[in-house]
Each structure stands twice: as C-alpha cells, then as structure tokens.
Amino acid sequence: MTIDPNNPTPLFRQIGDYVRKAVASGRYRPGEAIPSLRTMALELHVNPNTVKRAYEDLERSGLIQGKAGVGMFVTLAGAREAKAEVEGMVYDCFMEGLRIAQGSGIDGGRARELFERAWAEDARRVG
C-alpha cells in the first residue's frame, strides 16, 4: 500500500504522486485512461472526492486530461515529463537527507555510510 493515512502529507498529494510514479514507470501509458475516480477510490480505500482532488491537480499539471462522462487520459507531454519529475522527487529525498546530516554535525563519510546501508536494505527488500 503506497497510500498511508497517517503520513502527514495529504492523501490527495500521495495519490497524485502515486499516479505520477505509475506513469513514469509505464504502468499507465499515454493515450490510455487511468482508473476512474470511483475505481481508484475503492482500490486505495479512500473517498472519491479525495481522488478527484488528486486528479484535478494532475490535470492542472498537465499529466492527465479529463473528458466528462468518459475518463481521465494520460497526455503525451505529461508522460514525457513524468520521468523527470519522479527523478526530481528522488533527488529531493536524497538532498533532504544530506541537508539534515549537514545541519546535525553528521559528517559526509557517515552520511555516505547511511546511504549504502539504505541501498543494501533496498536491494534486500526487492531481491
């Protein structure tokens, strides 16, 4: 489950990022429809209005485009950008970690060690 109601970042943003990642990874393809409001809401155990809000944001950002009575479709331009945006999310996480280390007197070598440990754990998790 990628969506966590206890995470302080709002559900609608988590859902948005969830879709963005799915597009970046090629699971949702340009020209195709993503799951309907209601379907996605059921899938994620969330209220349709919350999904709606996420989809609105995605439409505003150009990733998808809605056709009333039909569905929400991944745009070509959006799909092209999605990969870069997700890489930005990854980069931002790393930067955030380094900034915290930096501001807490954790030296560079130690930060690198922590990255390698996370790397190993991630590899182990996936196999």
Partner DNA sequence: GTGGTCTAGACCACT
Position among 29, 38, 99, 117 found at the interface with DNA (CB under 7 A): 38
- Give CA torsion, residues 11, 8, 5, 79, to 10 deg: 30
Q: Which does 3 bind (CB under 5 to 8 A by kind): a second copy, DNA, none?
A: none
Q: Record the tokens describing residue 41, joined without a space.
A: 């809401």
- Amino acid making up residue 97: G
Question: CB of residue 33 vs DNA: minimum separation in angstroms?
Answer: 7
Q: Which does 122 bind (CB under 5 to 8 A by kind): DNA, a second copy, none?
A: a second copy
What DSSP character marks residue 36? Answer: P
- Binding string, 70-99, against DNA, x = CB under 7 A? xxx---------------------------
b/e sequence 96-114, b meaning 16+ C-beta within 10 Å = eebeebeeeeeeeeebeee
Q: Is 103 in the site for DNA (CB under 7 A)?
A: no
Q: Record the tokens describing residue 88, joined without a space.
A: 């930005």
| Rg over CA atoms, the chain | 17
Q: Which does 38 bind (CB under 5 to 8 A by kind): DNA, a second copy, none?
A: DNA
Pick the closer one to DNA by CB: 57 or 111: 57
Q: Which residues bind DNA (CB under 7 A)?
A: 5, 8, 10-14, 33, 36-39, 46-50, 52-53, 55-56, 66-72
